[in-house]
Chain A
């Protein structure tokens, strides 16, 4: 091809990429609305602040999701002059990524995942606004008719793990029962319950509020083991935002936290109605299973000594530090977090004491 034609082709390519780039400008305009709007939102007549809350993988009765669904449907968001778009994670890590890029403002996160983000590359400063799950979500299920009575019986068996490696919870259970990783064959598994029911593994990782009930409904009773049974200081789901956003938008953060916590309170008092609301977001789900999930998670929200003092969503430095140290000793974090108090804040739910 003659040089002049090559130049023209390159110029065309440049022009096309410039056009594509310009197309992105429209998206940016939307993000600026929230920060700049806070300075104006002092009067109740101001237009509602727009934001996105990202719940987890699929709509279901996880307690933080429920709080948001209820806040939406019962008008708690509207009363706080908030216009909230509720979305759900599509690919794992979406919520952290989008928090990191500023495309969403609030989300939920597991406590361990939250701490991991402070030691990740790059660091994403995710902050817990309210610790809903006072104890960890992870459990390990065995079929009720198996001969495994205690984790000591795990020796010589096959245990599954999800994600990229076994979890600190798993290692803690082993440690507490005098086992090492070599005593058990661990394999990476998917989410299909057949893996347990067909005997591909003996010990299957589950969410405490979820699979045991599902398996039961399929006709398979299970026994459950958790790290908390053996004294591990595990924690569950939180409402989260980024440190930067909370710093730049304290009022909005407070209003949001208030609304979702009200949602949880309301769900606690009106369980059937709460399930009806969940089903609006998840019409394909089984109402009884959703109710099981809700009940279990409410119980987990009220577990421990923090709840009686601080109510639902309360959190202390001791809790977070204990989890942090636990993760460090069980290979859950690549390095220590210098200032653990930075990962959470109670500043935005202090109001909930004033009933």
Chain B
């Protein structure tokens, strides 16, 4: 037991303490700076104000955060699904790749804030436009990473499967798909936060739920502590997602050197 306890303590010391201390230092500087320069709460709230506002109704913030997360997750699923299907098609057909990849780039390059209002007029109000905006943001990174993952197979393994006269289908499922998982995960690390951002941005334009809306209405009403509290909750959600993805990745990608060597 003693050994176990020591291991946990060591884990805390190594992984939790450093960022916690860094964070505390930043918060401390922030609080002190505001007090020292007497900065109005209308401009930037002090961490103590933010905490006060948050602890007034933490349930409210978590509820709204859950809603945004929900939209972001659905958007991620949609964008990834489309991206993966396209990646499969493009991996097997250079013609398809030449035809479709430029379209994908157009989507990537178009600014969200231009698309969102148009989408809302076209699709209507409610959750759907937000899911679509989130999906649009996720689409391109997931597409590129999955395509690379499909391509980047161990040539020796590919040779071996060819030596067995394996069908392209067999090669795809047994070799390319599992081999692309590291890329998919690294894409998820990028795209999940993007999906969050997409949902938040979409919530700016319409709807009355979600942390994006909370930020928007707090902004309109000059409620800076509420605004910052909402942003902080969003950041926490982002961190939580990252941790969850890391844990899942550890289990699924145990065989990949990137996971094994991070110790």
Contacts and interface: CB of A to CB of B under 8 A. Distances in A.
Q: Do any beta carbons of A and B sit within 8 angstroms of each other in the complex?
A: yes
A187 interface: yes
Contacts of A93: 219-222
Interface stretch (B143-151, B184-192, B201-209, B229-237): B201-209
A257 B124 CA distance: 46
Given A17-B29, A21-B37, A190-B205, A97 B222 contact: yes
A294 to B, nearest CB: 27
A303 B70 CA distance: 50
Contact of A188 (B29, B41, B208, B222): B208
B127 interface: no
Contacts of B36: 21
Contacts of B43: 97, 101
A187 B206 contact: yes
A193 B126 CA distance: 19
A190 B41 contact: no
A96 B216 CA distance: 17
Nearest to B39: A101
A124 to B, nearest CB: 8
B42 A165 contact: no
A101 B42 contact: yes
A133 to B, nearest CB: 20
B44 to A, nearest CB: 11
B160 interface: no
A24 B207 contact: no
A256 to B, nearest CB: 23
Dominant SS at the A interface? Answer: loop
B223 interface: yes
Interface residues of B, number: 27
B125 interface: yes
A24 B221 contact: no
Interface in B173-220: 205-208, 213, 216-217, 219-220
A189 interface: yes
A192 B41 contact: no
A220 to B, nearest CB: 15
Interface in A163-199: 163-165, 187-190, 192, 194-195, 198
A198 B121 contact: yes
Given A17-B29, A165-B208, A188-B207, A24 B219 contact: no
A31 to B, nearest CB: 13
B33 A21 contact: yes
Given A164-B208, A188-B206, A200-B125, 15 more contacts: A24-B37, A92-B219, A97-B40, A116-B221, A120-B221, A124-B42, A124-B222, A164-B217, A164-B220, A187-B125, A188-B208, A188-B213, A194-B121, A195-B121, A200-B124
Interface of B: 29, 33, 36-37, 40-43, 117, 120-121, 124-126, 205-208, 213, 216-217, 219-223, 225
29 contacts: A21-B33, A21-B37, A91-B219, A93-B220, A93-B221, A96-B42, A96-B222, A97-B42, A97-B222, A100-B40, A100-B42, A122-B42, A124-B42, A164-B208, A164-B213, A164-B216, A164-B217, A164-B220, A164-B221, A187-B125, A187-B206, A188-B125, A188-B205, A188-B206, A188-B213, A192-B117, A192-B121, A198-B121, A200-B125
